[in-house]
Structure 1
Amino acid sequence: MPPEAPLRMPSQPLWTWSKHDVRPLVEPKAWKTPWVSRAFVGVGLVAAVVLGGREMYGVVEVGGVTVLEWALLFLFLVNFSWIALAFASSIVGFVALFGKPAIAEPEAPERLGSRNALVMPIYNEQPSRVFGAIQAIHEDIARLGLGAHFDCFLLSDTTDPDVWIAEERAFLALREALGPEARVFYRHREKNHRRKAGNIEDFVTRWGGSYDHMVIFDADSLMTGHAVTALAAAMEADPDAGIIQTLPLVISRNTLFARVQQFASRVYGPVIAAGIAVWYGRDGNYWGHNAIIRMAAFAGGGGLPDLKGRPPFGGLILSHDFVEAALIRRKGWAVYMLPRIEGSYEESPPSLIDLSQRDRRWCQGNLQHTALLTTRGLYPLSRQHFLNGIFSYLASPFWMFMLLCGIALALQSKFIRPEYFTDEFALFPAWPRFDAERALALFGVTMAILIAPKFFGLIIHLMNGASRRGSGGAFRTLVSAILEIILSSLFAPIMMLVQSGSVFQILAGRATGWNPQRRDDGSIPFGDIVRRHRWHMALGAVTLVTALMIAPSLAGWMSPTIAGLLLAIPLSWLSGHLASGLFLKRLGLMLIPEETTVPPIAAAAREKGALLAARGVDEGEGLAALVADPDFFREHDRMLPVAPSRPRGAPEPERVMAAAKLTEAETLADAVAWLTPKEKTVLLHDRALLSLASRLPAGPASDQREIVGRQL
């Protein structure tokens, strides 16, 4: 790592705030609030909810409104407002993009005046893949002649000791490939305190003083030199900008589920992103990666406190990117999006189960934001971002409750004898009635509003010749869109139950862990799929039987939901099926332009990663690899930080056990066989224990010694 340049990053107060804490604007005349688009979205949302609510009330009020019908009306309004907001926002995006390419390659600036850090936090990732991507980004920026303005940092929070040592091998190979003058650095933290937020905070407080801005990547992020330098130029041109976010498009995906997400991201995503970029204006949000951040803004406004109480609602703030954006905006910095910048890419989970596992962590983080809604000094749209994130998960149980409420009403009308003559005086009996014709019309309008953002995105995509040809032509694009809608409709009820389960678990106090994400392989053992989805399938069968008992028309109305649940197991298996995705690709379906013409940065990242993998950087046992190569051993020793002072009389159990096992071991193979992953991690951080391990002969493991090791 380069010499440290400390930068203070104080924890921000949540419940105390003063207007005097807001920084003065450097260029107040450049600060424009998009009142017209905000008014359109606000009025459109209110009008849609009022009209939808009136129609729904007309459906249920015939003959009087019961408690269950009031509940159904309330749940309908909550869900309808959610899709109405997306509809109004997509209209703004459609108007903003009409007649323009959805994305376009930005011009690289001729010169820059800032120093920028490219920061990639990593956690138990495949080293060749990550380091290959950084090499491709580094070389693409250097090709533009602006490499002197960017330093690359790989910040490891990896907990698997063998992956950690593999990262070091990959880093040394990368430095060898780029030459000794390359400004590429690597740091591994002994303790991954505060997870990703703590990883970035550690970088900012120790090295942030050397840089004006930092570009944040995820481990699956990829950005072209044009995109990175355009962001740096935009930040230089706007002294009041704190965060500038790009729209990362999903690329390089091949499983069926990932290809569905990839197609939706490329075709529909730009219209949705353009809409929120327009009406959010400079009160936007931050998604945690593929964005540039002013170092002074992040250090001065983005320090996160811990929340009171225990997880899942207390403790470390998860989904920290939303909170960082809100606190930075509170300080007076602008946060906005440039969604049309081409060259910002990411990946997506390969299967439905992989998505649900990642979603579980996001669900906890977003629901945790309920405690932050009353944070002092936040701008109204920052609170809206929190509400938007919260409801993105609460929508699933609300949808589920609405379906259950509808079934309960149908059961009531079918099996419970109605009271036609009440105690109240009336000229006519209270015949139970239900306006089926109006209900059908409302259902059609709801579906139209739900699908409209996709329709707008499809029009913009087809209007652009390059995008249309890159997706296989107009006919194949239309077929792909229909297929995407069908598959998404089948996956939706499964995700509804998965997300509802996550919400109920979190409300019950069950916190989540932090597991590394799978990137490519979507195959999951069929037995695991059955165990995960058998209750979903059973619920689908019960719903089908119940609906048929009530009325065949109810079963027809619920058929998309019932079909998705009945097919939960085969759909989940198919979602991670590589051959199915590749079959669609061969047919020219679910194609995106970035597949027809692969971006050079993506091809370069794959090539660099393959070269690193061919050198064996991903393979082998870490401790044995260190001891077998004296040069590597010296480099590892050089990369270790200065040993921290430890309190006397308070030994670490893992350190004590590692020392005891090394003392008992006759060969290195004995030590490797006996050490647990935590003990090996401690050993690899300790120069004294490493020295002890290096003096052991390689030799085979002894059966007797294995017994002693297990006893130890």
Structure 2
Amino acid sequence: MDALTLAPEDEAPPARETPATADPAVAPPTPIESRLSMPAQNLYKFDSRQRRKPEAPWLWRTPWLARLVTFGGGFALTAYGAHEMYRVIDVGGVTTLKWTLLALFVLNFSWIALSFASCVVGFVLLLRHRRPPPLPATLAEKTAVVMPIYNEAPSRVFAALQTIYEDVQATGLGAHFDWYFLSDTTNPDIWIAEERAFIGIRRRLGPQARVYYRRREKNTGRKAGNIEDFVSRWGGAYQHMVVLDADSLMAGPTIVRLAAAMEADPDSGIIQTLPLIISRNTLFARVQQFAARVYGPVIAMGLSAWMGRDGNYWGHNAIIRTEAFAQHCGLPDLRGRPPWGGHILSHDFVEAALIRRAGYAVYMTPTLGGSYEESPPSLIDVSIRDRRWCQGNLQHSRVLLAKGLHWASRQHFLTGIFGYLTSPLWLLQLLVGIVIVFQASYFRPEYFTGEFVLFPTFPRFDAERSLQLFALTMSILLAPKLFGLLVAFYEPETRKGSGGFFMLVISTVFEIVLSALLAPIMMLIQTGHVLHIVFGFDTGWDPQRRDDGSVPFPDIVRRHIWHVALGLLSLVAGFMISPSLVAWMSPTIAGLVLAIFISWATSQRWLGLVFRRAGVLATPEETTTPPIAKRARALSKALARAGEDEVNCLIAIHGDSDLRERHENWLPTRRPRQRGQISADRALAEAKIADAETIEDAVAWLNRGERLVVISDRALIGMIARLPRRGALASAPQEARAAE
């Protein structure tokens, strides 16, 4: 086993190893291919006669009651809210601006009313919580567990997969699972670090561990293309695949239960778990972690109830029927250029819709447990991720009318689209309300509407009814949090793990206040994302920052200075118009004026740890860390201390002949270069290496792109290997004189 020393506070059970007679790291990095065809689907042509017939029709129970409560209740609440809003503005007649305000209110209110009705269903069902099914005695089929990675710290992802592997082995059913790292890494230093980490994990786990590593030279299609490449090349060997993210953790019993559920349900296409956020320390991430743990199960249970077998897929911590996925989930490129065309960014929703269109079930198991993930550590990191998600979700407007989709799949698309459109809609509603008040105070009001009337129309509101409607709206917004709190009181594990009744209330109140301050900032950020995409700017795909490091203060100021300016402008304008308007807008104005301070404070790890020690925002998984999370954290620290992440690819390849030999063997076979076709990067890299007298010269002269070319080319690797070190070059004349 590698010399990985664990500090006393990081003690973890040793990896299970079997004595090996040969070095397992010498074996090929991937198994023999077992190909599956994965054709791109036509979104607008579908013959319903091709939809498969259920093999287990008794499992296809439509959740009529849950859907009636969710959609019927949501519609009834929206109708009531629209009627009350009309009564609010119908004092002295309705002007054009008031009609606009009413329309915006109905759009926004309908979404929160639907969410509220769904949470009512989830709340009732969670009070009848059932324990997970027992572990199966055996499994009949093979499952691949795949982890796509893209420029991630190897110590984190290799520690996570090793931990999951060990936990599955502990169930006694590990022989039914193979394990894949699917790398799309473009950073040459991380690429070589991944290969070193892969050699290390094979040696630690022994030859019986079927752990594989594949790196794509071109990350076509991004994560969806990464999974497609795996399915096309090795999917034929596996009935199912469990898809992870780079920050995923799943307990062994959870993975085994998912595989058993797939075997027991021949019509299942995707089974999605509910990942809980763990291991977060910044204040911002801890707020997300608490909200996901306390309120998330209510929301997820409501969704699961009305979706039934017409559910959705979130792209990770789920099990998929491999052949069905290959036959029906190949993604086409959308016509046109990004951001509206090109590769589908939010691929998971579309894959769920396509596999459901083919006749397979997609459903969620929100109470299975043992499924974990991490979250971005700061508001700025969330905004970077949100920009990509926003583009992907808005792209769904072009998939919404695809032929043959189940209505529930279209609803999932609408949910994703409106998840981002609500921000500009709320902002518009706010601005229209301010304009109406401003008009009444400083300008001649719109006394006469478009219709002929004998008397003028004065822009007035029913103040008492307006307050009642505001109270109703806030109650609907906060109800899911109250439902989550009540469920937490009801469940002993959650109640005790979160610090008891009193601390749960304190944490909930703090989360509500901080979320209220963050809401206007996120509203402007998401509105900016929407406008960014509407005006045709592509977001790209940056790797996500997963550590708990603080954001530099100048970056925070640069990101939020316009939010503060808008908040101050709103404050001054509000006082000029009406002090009561300032009181009404105070949460919005306060959030914007304090945006820089809020973003800075919530990104601080030390402040999050202060709240953690005080027991505020505590979760059961934090109070009693799951063994799998404890083991993964300890192993990740040990790998990082052993230098798994800190590597210069040229120095590593030059100084380790064993690593260099394996790296060259694992490179794909290239076609001979055609005459006249010369890559600029390769030509420059070759020239610099030829000029270099030492490996240190090459390291100093070659940029990142050129280093990537070098370690992808066996001839250039050979040139690097022949370069001496600077110390060796200096000692050569002395050794020659000594020999004379």
Measured after TM superposition, the shift of residue 661 of structure 1 is 1.8
Alignment correspondent of 2:36? 7
Alignment correspondent of 2:340? 313
Q: Give the direction of change, closer, same or farther, for the CA distance of 1:608–1:421 in structure 2 (3 Å limit).
A: closer
Alignment correspondent of 1:42? 71
| Distance (Å, rounded) in 2 between the aligned partners of 1:423 and 1:585 | 59
| Distance (Å, rounded) in 2 between the aligned partners of 1:135 and 1:17 | 42
TM-score relative to the length of structure 2: 0.92
Alignment correspondent of 2:288? 261
Contact map agreement 2:190 2:647 (CA 8 A) in 1: no
Q: Give the direction of change, closer, same or farther, for the CA distance of 1:56–1:381 in structure 2 (3 Å limit).
A: same
Q: Give the direction of change, closer, same or farther, for the CA distance of 1:591–1:644 in structure 2 (3 Å limit).
A: farther
Contact map agreement 2:387 2:529 (CA 8 A) in 1: yes
Alignment correspondent of 2:734? none
Alignment of structure 1 residues 525-544 onto 2, 5 Å: 525-544=552-571
Alignment of structure 1 residues 310-349 onto 2, 5 Å: 310-349=337-376
Counterpart AA for 1:557? W
Measured after TM superposition, the shift of residue 270 of structure 1 is 0.3
Contact map agreement 2:566 2:592 (CA 8 A) in 1: yes
Show CA shifts across 1:679-708 (max 9, x none): 211211111111121111122799xxxxxx
Which has the larger displacement, 513-522 or 588-597?
A: 513-522
Identity %: 60
> Are residues 1:405 and 2:432 paired?
yes
| Distance (Å, rounded) in 2 between the aligned partners of 1:493 and 1:113 | 52
Alignment of structure 1 residues 587-598 onto 2, 5 Å: 587-598=614-625
Contact map agreement 2:340 2:395 (CA 8 A) in 1: yes
Q: Give the direction of change, closer, same or farther, for the CA distance of 1:638–1:430 in structure 2 (3 Å limit).
A: closer
| Distance (Å, rounded) in 1 between the aligned partners of 2:102 and 2:448 | 25
Q: Give the direction of change, closer, same or farther, for the CA distance of 1:682–1:49 in structure 2 (3 Å limit).
A: same
| Distance (Å, rounded) in 2 between the aligned partners of 1:687 and 1:107 | 52
> Are residues 1:285 and 2:298 paired?
no
Secondary structure at the counterpart of residue 335 of structure 1: strand
Alignment of structure 1 residues 157-172 onto 2, 5 Å: 157-172=184-199
Q: Give the direction of change, closer, same or farther, for the CA distance of 1:460–1:676 in structure 2 (3 Å limit).
A: same
Alignment correspondent of 2:607? 580
Contact map agreement 2:96 2:449 (CA 8 A) in 1: no
Contact map agreement 2:144 2:180 (CA 8 A) in 1: yes
| Distance (Å, rounded) in 2 between the aligned partners of 1:423 and 1:319 | 44
Show CA shifts across 1:550-574 (max 9, x none): 2211111111111100100000001
| Distance (Å, rounded) in 2 between the aligned partners of 1:75 and 1:368 | 23
Secondary structure at the counterpart of residue 726 of structure 2: coil
Alignment correspondent of 1:624? 651
Measured after TM superposition, the shift of residue 620 of structure 1 is 2.4
Secondary structure at the counterpart of residue 266 of structure 2: coil
How many residues get paired? 700
Alignment correspondent of 1:692? 719
Alignment of structure 1 residues 55-134 onto 2, 5 Å: 55-100=84-129, 106-134=133-161
Q: Give the direction of change, closer, same or farther, for the CA distance of 1:126–1:54 in structure 2 (3 Å limit).
A: same
Measured after TM superposition, the shift of residue 615 of structure 1 is 1.6
Contact map agreement 1:247 1:273 (CA 8 A) in 2: yes
Measured after TM superposition, the shift of residue 641 of structure 1 is 2.2
Contact map agreement 2:75 2:114 (CA 8 A) in 1: no
| Distance (Å, rounded) in 1 between the aligned partners of 2:249 and 2:588 | 36
Contact map agreement 1:105 1:341 (CA 8 A) in 2: yes
Secondary structure at the counterpart of residue 243 of structure 1: strand
Contact map agreement 2:135 2:257 (CA 8 A) in 1: yes
Contact map agreement 1:673 1:701 (CA 8 A) in 2: no
| Distance (Å, rounded) in 2 between the aligned partners of 1:423 and 1:465 | 61
| Distance (Å, rounded) in 2 between the aligned partners of 1:432 and 1:326 | 47
Alignment correspondent of 2:381? 354
Alignment correspondent of 1:554? 581
| Distance (Å, rounded) in 2 between the aligned partners of 1:420 and 1:95 | 50
| Distance (Å, rounded) in 1 between the aligned partners of 2:448 and 2:712 | 82
Contact map agreement 2:281 2:548 (CA 8 A) in 1: no
Measured after TM superposition, the shift of residue 10 of structure 1 is 0.6
Measured after TM superposition, the shift of residue 638 of structure 1 is 2.3
Alignment of structure 1 residues 359-378 onto 2, 5 Å: 359-378=386-405
> Are residues 1:152 and 2:192 paired?
no
Q: Give the direction of change, closer, same or farther, for the CA distance of 1:119–1:73 in structure 2 (3 Å limit).
A: same
Q: Give the direction of change, closer, same or farther, for the CA distance of 1:177–1:412 in structure 2 (3 Å limit).
A: same
Picking from 237, 248, 263, the partner of 1:236 is 263
Picking from 505, 520, 545, the partner of 1:518 is 545
| Distance (Å, rounded) in 2 between the aligned partners of 1:669 and 1:643 | 28
Show CA shifts across 1:86-109 (max 9, x none): 1010011011111437xx555322
Contact map agreement 2:94 2:457 (CA 8 A) in 1: no
Measured after TM superposition, the shift of residue 360 of structure 1 is 0.5
Alignment of structure 1 residues 427-442 onto 2, 5 Å: 430-442=457-469
Alignment correspondent of 2:81? 52
| Distance (Å, rounded) in 2 between the aligned partners of 1:526 and 1:59 | 45
Counterpart AA for 2:639? L
Q: Give the direction of change, closer, same or farther, for the CA distance of 1:648–1:373 in structure 2 (3 Å limit).
A: farther
**Structure 2 gaps, min length 5:** 1-29, 730-740
| Distance (Å, rounded) in 2 between the aligned partners of 1:270 and 1:557 | 32
Contact map agreement 2:695 2:724 (CA 8 A) in 1: yes
Q: Give the direction of change, closer, same or farther, for the CA distance of 1:701–1:513 in structure 2 (3 Å limit).
A: farther
Counterpart AA for 1:561? T
| Distance (Å, rounded) in 2 between the aligned partners of 1:438 and 1:162 | 63
Q: Give the direction of change, closer, same or farther, for the CA distance of 1:84–1:665 in structure 2 (3 Å limit).
A: same
Secondary structure at the counterpart of residue 590 of structure 1: coil
Alignment correspondent of 2:166? 139
Q: Give the direction of change, closer, same or farther, for the CA distance of 1:269–1:108 in structure 2 (3 Å limit).
A: same
| Distance (Å, rounded) in 2 between the aligned partners of 1:620 and 1:701 | 21
| Distance (Å, rounded) in 1 between the aligned partners of 2:539 and 2:663 | 33
Alignment of structure 1 residues 405-424 onto 2, 5 Å: 405-418=432-445
Secondary structure at the counterpart of residue 404 of structure 2: coil
Alignment correspondent of 2:626? 599
Contact map agreement 2:95 2:459 (CA 8 A) in 1: no
Contact map agreement 2:153 2:645 (CA 8 A) in 1: yes
Alignment of structure 1 residues 637-676 onto 2, 5 Å: 637-644=664-671, 646-676=673-703
Alignment correspondent of 1:210? 237
Contact map agreement 1:106 1:226 (CA 8 A) in 2: no
Alignment correspondent of 2:496? 469
Counterpart AA for 1:622? C
Measured after TM superposition, the shift of residue 611 of structure 1 is 2.0
Show CA shifts across 1:398-419 (max 9, x none): 0110110010001011112347
| Distance (Å, rounded) in 2 between the aligned partners of 1:88 and 1:645 | 63
Show CA shifts across 1:413-466 (max 9, x none): 111234769999977665543101000000000000011111111111110111
